[in-house]
Amino acid sequence: MKLTYKLTLAFLLISLLAIGLAALFIQGRIASEFNRYLEGQQQNNFVLAVRSYYNENNTFNGVDTYLRENQLLPPLNELNPPPQPYVLVDSKRVVIVASAPYVIGEKVKQGEIDKGIPIESNGEAVGTVISTGQPLARKPLDQKYIDQINQALWIAAFGGMLIALLLGLLIARSLTRPIRELTHATHKMAQGKLEQEIPVRSQDELGELAQAFNQMSADLTKANLARKQMTADIAHDLRNPLTVVSGYLESLQDGKLKSTPERFAIMQMEVQHLQHLVEDLRMLSLADSGELRLHLEPIAPAELLESVASAYRHQAEVQKIQLKIETDANLSTVNLDSERMEQVIGNLISNALRYTPEGGEILLSAKQFPGSLILGVADTGIGISPDILLHIFERSYRGDSSRSGTESGLGLAIAKSIVELQGGNIKAEQRAEQGSKFLIAIPIQ
């Protein structure tokens, strides 16, 4: 059964119970209040009649006939007289007009007289009217009045239930609407249409669900786009060197070109680039699948920086760039995988060398803060614009997309994975003076 119907049924059952109980209660209450009203009126009539009779006749003799004439007592010949709950007692506490369980001539206790209504004539107590507490029989007209009220009550209850049913249906539909929209959008996503947006209609849990769904859809769309872009970039990056190498090989084979050391060097460079790219991809997929094994050992940060710098010193000299190291004294050792960290910092230095012009400077630094060690690679190069900064650690992101260089665009993504696997994090910033700065924070236990 549909959730809408289930909810409607639940609303209906609850309202049925509530309206039914209320109607029963009101019906009972009306009956008892109406009886009380009738009894009060009847008692009043009885007392008034008895009093006026005494005032006129100075005695209660013959009062029963008078009451019968006024229909305040049932006629004598009636077979099944309706109950008449009033008893008249004279000043000597003797019953004059009786009703069960009292009988005429019976003497009544003072306690009962006290509960009754005294009849006075010229300021003197001449008798008492006592109520037996027996319920009055309703007259046909009174009964008709009560029946009509009850009928109206049940019609109102039925109307209330119809309204509850309609409202329940409306509320259930509006409650399940976001769920229907979500299901519809989910089906579409399953069919491959990842970009879905459902309206957020409320600030409650369903609204939160819709928001989370929209976020998920946006993230998936973005990730899907990035994956497509990366595949295209990689295909492009693989094709270029392969075209160069196969072109050379063909020409060499045909004898159109002579094999010279320079041509082999070019081919070797392209093959190296391919190897590099394949290695980067392997690293990323290892990091993704959590299979990148780390060999953590205590290493001294200053030594780590020195060791990487020495590998790039020659290239820096060739490019006339100064490669400097600045470290705090007494740095504590940190548990790191030295080979992987050398790879990360090496990548940052090689980027810095690529984007820094002649006469520039690259500064490697290590600073200790409470709880963490910050390794920095700063350059005086072209710097990174804010919109590029946002995406710089994404896979296959190149700041300058027109550049057809030998870079894979995976270097920083790999660096981020490796740093994060070791519990640290990496960020990039634009330096105030000039150039860019990469900071790696490693927690110290």
Residues found near ligand ADP in the complex (CB under 6 A): 351-352, 355, 379, 381-382, 384, 388, 392, 397-400, 407-409, 411-413, 436
Residue number with CB closer to ligand ADP (138 or 431): 431
Would you list the DSSP string of 347-405?
HHHHHHHHH--TT-EEEEEEEEETTEEEEEEEE-SS---HHHHTTTTSTT--SSTT---
Q: How far is the CB of 266 from ligand ADP (least distance, A)?
A: 20
Q: How far is the CB of 291 from ligand ADP (least distance, A)?
A: 21
> How far apart, in whole angstroms, are the C-alpha atoms of residue 445 and residue 443?
6
Residue number with CB closer to ligand ADP (138 or 427): 427
The letter for the amino acid at 365 is: S
> How far apart, in whole angstroms, are the C-alpha atoms of residue 410 and residue 394?
8
Q: How far is the CB of 197 from ligand ADP (least distance, A)?
A: 31
Residue number with CB closer to ligand ADP (69 or 400): 400
Q: How far is the CB of 218 from ligand ADP (least distance, A)?
A: 23
Cβ count near 216 (within 10 Å): 13
Q: CB–CB of 182/21 below 8 Å?
A: no
Q: How far is the CB of 443 from ligand ADP (least distance, A)?
A: 24
Residue 299, both tokens: 């290493």
> How far apart, in whole angstroms, are the C-alpha atoms of residue 393 and residue 414?
8
Residue number with CB closer to ligand ADP (90 or 379): 379
Residue 81, both tokens: 């007289």
Residue 363, both tokens: 């500064």
Which of 247, 241, 244, 243 has its CA nearest to residue 275? Answer: 241
> How far apart, in whole angstroms, are the C-alpha atoms of residue 136 and residue 35?
7
Q: How far is the CB of 344 from ligand ADP (least distance, A)?
A: 11
Cα 36–Cα 39–Cα 43 angle in degrees, nearest 5: 140
Residue number with CB closer to ligand ADP (336 or 352): 352
Residue number with CB closer to ligand ADP (164 or 308): 308
The phi, psi pair for 59, rounded to 5°, reads: -155, 160
* Residue 86, beta-bridge partner list: 131
Q: Enter the DSSP assignment of 198.
A: -
**Shortest-Cβ-distance residue relative to ligand ADP:** 399
Residue number with CB closer to ligand ADP (210 or 428): 428
Residue number with CB closer to ligand ADP (19 or 352): 352
Residue number with CB closer to ligand ADP (336 or 413): 413
Q: How far is the CB of 217 from ligand ADP (least distance, A)?
A: 27
> How far apart, in whole angstroms, are the C-alpha atoms of residue 177 and residue 191?
21
Q: How far is the CB of 353 from ligand ADP (least distance, A)?
A: 9
Q: How far is the CB of 265 from ligand ADP (least distance, A)?
A: 22
Residue number with CB closer to ligand ADP (194 or 283): 283
> How far apart, in whole angstroms, are the C-alpha atoms of residue 428 and residue 297?
26
Residue number with CB closer to ligand ADP (321 or 412): 412
The phi, psi pair for 72, rounded to 5°, reads: -100, -5
The phi, psi pair for 418, rounded to 5°, reads: -65, -45
Residue number with CB closer to ligand ADP (168 or 381): 381
Q: CB–CB of 425/441 below 8 Å?
A: yes
* Residue 124, beta-bridge partner list: 121
The phi, psi pair for 143, rounded to 5°, reads: -60, -40
Q: Name the helix (H) or strand (E) containing 324.
A: strand 322-327
Q: How far is the CB of 318 from ligand ADP (least distance, A)?
A: 18
Number of residues that this document lists for the chain: 445
Q: How far is the CB of 230 from ligand ADP (least distance, A)?
A: 12
> How far apart, in whole angstroms, are the C-alpha atoms of residue 234 and residue 286?
17
Q: How far is the CB of 394 from ligand ADP (least distance, A)?
A: 8
